[in-house]
Amino acid sequence: MNGIKRLSCGVFLCAVFATSSAWAEPSHEWTYGGEHGPAHWGEISKEFHACESGRAESPIDIRSAKQAPADMPRLKVHYQPLPIDITNTGHSVQFNAAPGTDSLSLGDQSYQLVQFHFHAPGEERFAGKASVMDAHFVHRSDDGKLLVLAVQFKLGMQANPVIQALLDRIPHEKDAELMARGVTINPLELLPKSTGYYTYSGSLTTPPCSEGVTWIEFKEPVTITQHQLHAMEAFYHGNQRPVQALNGRDIWDVE
């Protein structure tokens, strides 16, 4: 299917077990505005130095891309239904994945899904425009490499069933952790049907802004309703880092 192998589908309701948080946020306080906002992240802690001095930061504005060569490693997605726990981190609502599932591969390199979260508006820009919301799926390989899948959302008439299942279980209190009992979700159902994507080397979009992250930016958006968007925005709206300079990096167009 043009580079991505879709191996499973559906939303499954079943008993689940509690999972531990697999992705810890930095202990230093940071925000999306004011004196602790993105313009000052690099000043808050030496651990956040890359937020100010990095040369391969994310998000970026995708305005042009080179056609990917035939020998470039291609993405294959192996998502399976999995139990999650949900944490309101104070910066986003984070969905921590149960460990041990072979989530995806890029060429010969395998990655495990660690967590996914949402930004509203979306952080990626396409020809200067942001989507109403995006989802970032953070993956880690056995040797510590990071890969982020980014999915954009657009408004439509059809409710997204996975988004609704998550909305029904998000804790309202900051740092509150909720074990999602009685529901197992399949992240595959949050991905677009079309498999075309852009890829480039970037960073985490939150402190410590670590670089060397492989980004996969799906071209086709996924639909949510206005009601679902408003419900997500009730938790966080404006958790969007400004666009970062490309600094000569290549963006590759993969079909």
Radius of gyration of the chain measured on its C-alpha atoms = 17
Nearest partner of 232 among 183, 168, 157, 156, judged by Cα: 168
The distance of Cα 247 from the centroid of its chain, to the nearest Å, equals 23
Angle at 175 between CA 98 and CA 94, to 5 degrees: 40
Tokens of 6: 């879709």
Catalytic site positions: 91
Amino acid at 245: A
Sign of the alpha-carbon torsion through 192, 210, 214, 19: negative
Angle (nearest 5°) at CA 153 between 241 and 144: 55
Q: How far apart are CA 179 and CA 219, in angstroms?
A: 32
